[in-house]
Amino acid sequence: MNALKETNFNFPQQTAFYRGKVRDVYSFENQLLMVASDRISAFDVVLPRAIPFKGQVLNQIASHFLKATADIVPNWLIATPDPNVSVGLKCETYPVEMVVRGYLAGHAWRTYKSGLRILCGVILPEGLKENDKLPNPIITPTTKAHEGHDEDISREEILKQGLISEKEYAELEKYTLALFQRGTEMAAEQNLILVDTKYEFGQIDGKIILIDEIHTPDSSRYFYQEGYQERQDKNEVQKQLSKEFVREWLIANNFQGKEGQTVPEMSDEWITQISERYIELYEKVVGMKFEKQDTEQIVNRVEKNVLQYLSNL
């Protein structure tokens, strides 16, 4: 199986190029074209091997949920000319990511387990255990780092530093909770629990726009609804759909992105397993069968489809 590790296109009217952790971003006058590569990152490090079909999975899940939430907040998406490509509005981005959590899992649990009871200015109740449902969803923002690690930040600190105005931040909070509620409802229809996720926003002429991807395994964590409470009662590990299994494998192999640590070798078998898990997540979350696109000449396919799209503008 071929994987799309990177692209280096030079499209007509292209004004800039930026390579993110998993996306190659091509700028035009008023639009951005994002190629969802098959790169995978964890602990803010891009791992050495790409995962077949991962980019297609992420791009198609994001497109599905952006269309399903457009009535809540306008979003950047205009078209998907290729299974790995999204084209959308170019926005001025806000410098924080809006992380929202309905359950005590992942980073929130690791913080809680360390003894801390305040996360991003939010007070957490005593007596919780890993993966317990929180009394209400909480917003735990992070700064957006182009390099290195995103950092937790509180609402108060965001306003104090003048990163976002109080009026705009109140709107971002409202949209974040409404999107999470819609995501929770859509997950429940698939017998899943949306545990936590993150949203990114930008603006055009003062109008707030939802950008990037939403409700994908790279930005979200899902639990299986069936058996959730029984597993909690028995203190068993929750069955989940997310990228957390990759992080857990890295931790077990002594890698957390810290200085001096080396990424463990990723075998063909492990790469295939990750790919299968991403495809499973697509089918479970979206509720439709995943249609694998031809990857034999994947770079050529992407370029051809994008050029055809651009020629029709």
Mean pLDDT for the chain overall: 94
Residue 274 lies in a domain: yes
Average pLDDT over residues 70-81: 97
Residue type, 215: H
66 plus 101 within the same structural domain: no
176 plus 197 within the same structural domain: yes
Identify the residue whose tokens are 């990723």: 266
115 plus 188 within the same structural domain: yes
Report pLDDT for 145. 67
Beta bridge partners of residue 182, listed in sequence order? none
37 plus 117 within the same structural domain: no
| CATH number for the domain that contains residue 82 | 3.30.200.20
Pairing of strands 92-93, 85-89: unpaired
Residue-number span of the structural domain to which 29 is assigned: 16-92+266-311
Contact 143, 165 (CB under 8 A): no
Contact 254, 286 (CB under 8 A): no
Give how many domains the chain has, as a whole number: 2
Secondary structure E strands in the chain: 16-19, 23-27, 31-36, 41-42, 45-46, 77-82, 85-89, 92-93, 96-103, 118-119, 122-123, 133-139, 142-143, 192-204, 207-211, 220-224, 240-241
Q: Considering the chain, what percentage of its residues have pLDDT values greater than 70? A: 98
CB atoms within 10 A of CB 73: 20
Distance CA 221, CA 38 (A): 19
> Does residue 146 or residue 243 have the better pLDDT?
243
Confidence class for position 148, pLDDT limits 50, 70, 90: low
101 plus 192 within the same structural domain: yes
Report pLDDT for 161. 95
Which segment of 145-154, 164-173, 195-204, 248-257 scores lowest on mean pLDDT?
Answer: 145-154
Tens digits of residue pLDDT in 8-57: 999 999 999 999 989 999 999 999 999 999 999 988 899 999 999 999 99
Tens digits of residue pLDDT in 238-290: 998 878 889 889 999 999 989 899 999 999 999 999 999 899 889 999 999 99
Report pLDDT for 147. 59
145 plus 231 within the same structural domain: yes
Report pLDDT for 281. 87
Q: Quote the tokens at residue 196.
A: 């936590």
Report pLDDT for 113. 97
Asked if the model's pLDDT at residue 71 lies above 60, the reply is yes
Query: What is the 8-class DSSP label of residue 75?
Result: B
Contact 135, 236 (CB under 8 A): no
Its pTM stands at 0.90
| CATH number for the domain that contains residue 230 | 3.30.470.20
Average pLDDT over residues 74-79: 97
> Does residue 105 or residue 217 have the better pLDDT?
105
Residue 118 lies in a domain: yes
Report pLDDT for 44. 84
233 plus 109 within the same structural domain: yes
CB atoms within 10 A of CB 70: 12
Q: CA Rg, the chain, in Å?
A: 19
